[in-house]
Amino acid sequence: MKEFAVTPKPDDPRLTQRVSGQDETGQLIETSVVVERPLTLFLNGQEIVTMMTIGDYPEYLAVGYLINQNMLRADDTITGIDVDMEIDTVVVRTERKTDFEEKLKKKTLTSGCAQGTVFGDLMEKFEEIALPKDAVLRTSWLYRLTKKINTAPSLYLEAGAIHGCVLCEEDRPLVYMEDVGRHNAIDKIAGYMFMEGVKPEGKLFYTTGRLTSEMVIKTVQMRIPILVSRSGFTAWGVELARKANLTLIGRAKGSRFIVLSGAERIVYDADARTVVEEGRQRKASLVDD
Give the residue from 194, 234, 195 showing the smallest Cα distance to 217.
234
The mean pLDDT value for 137-141 works out to 97
pTM (two decimals): 0.87
**Band of residue 171 on the pLDDT scale cut at 50, 70, 90:** very high
- HSE-up (13 A, CA, CB side) for residue 176: 25
d(CA 14, CA 206): 26
Query: Has residue 183 been placed in a domain?
Result: yes
Query: Has residue 243 been placed in a domain?
Result: yes
The pLDDT of residue 248 is above 60 = yes
The mean pLDDT value for 199-203 works out to 96
Quick check: 183 and 207 in contact, CB under 8 A?
Answer: no
Query: Has residue 55 been placed in a domain?
Result: no
Query: Has residue 238 been placed in a domain?
Result: yes
- Side chain identity at residue 286, one-letter code: L
Query: Has residue 220 been placed in a domain?
Result: yes
Strand order in the sheet with 46-53: 46-53, 37-43, 89-94, 78-84
Quick check: 97 and 192 in contact, CB under 8 A?
Answer: no
d(CA 35, CA 54): 6
The pLDDT of residue 190 is above 50 = yes
Query: Has residue 100 been placed in a domain?
Result: no
d(CA 32, CA 112): 23
Query: Has residue 32 been placed in a domain?
Result: no
Q: Is 161 left (phi over 0), alpha (psi -120 to 50) or beta?
A: left
Give the residue from 83, 91, 30 showing the smallest Cα distance to 57.
83
182-196 and 213-221 helices cross at what angle (nearest 10)? 0
| Coil, strand or helix at 156 | helix
Q: Is 179 left (phi over 0), alpha (psi -120 to 50) or beta?
A: beta
Write out the residue range of the structural domain in which residue 261 sits.
137-274
Count of domains observed in the chain: 1
d(CA 94, CA 74): 12
DSSP string for 202-243: TEEEEESS-B-HHHHHHHHHTT--EEEESS-B-HHHHHHHHH
Per-residue confidence (pLDDT) for residue 126, from 0 to 100 = 84
Query: Has residue 89 been placed in a domain?
Result: no
Instruction: Determine what percent of the chain is predicted with pLDDT higher than 70.
Output: 87
| Domain CATH number, residue 239 | 3.40.140.10
In 57-139, beta strands by DSSP E:
78-84, 89-94, 107-109, 117-119, 137-138
Write out pLDDT tens, residues 115-133.
555 555 566 678 889 999 9
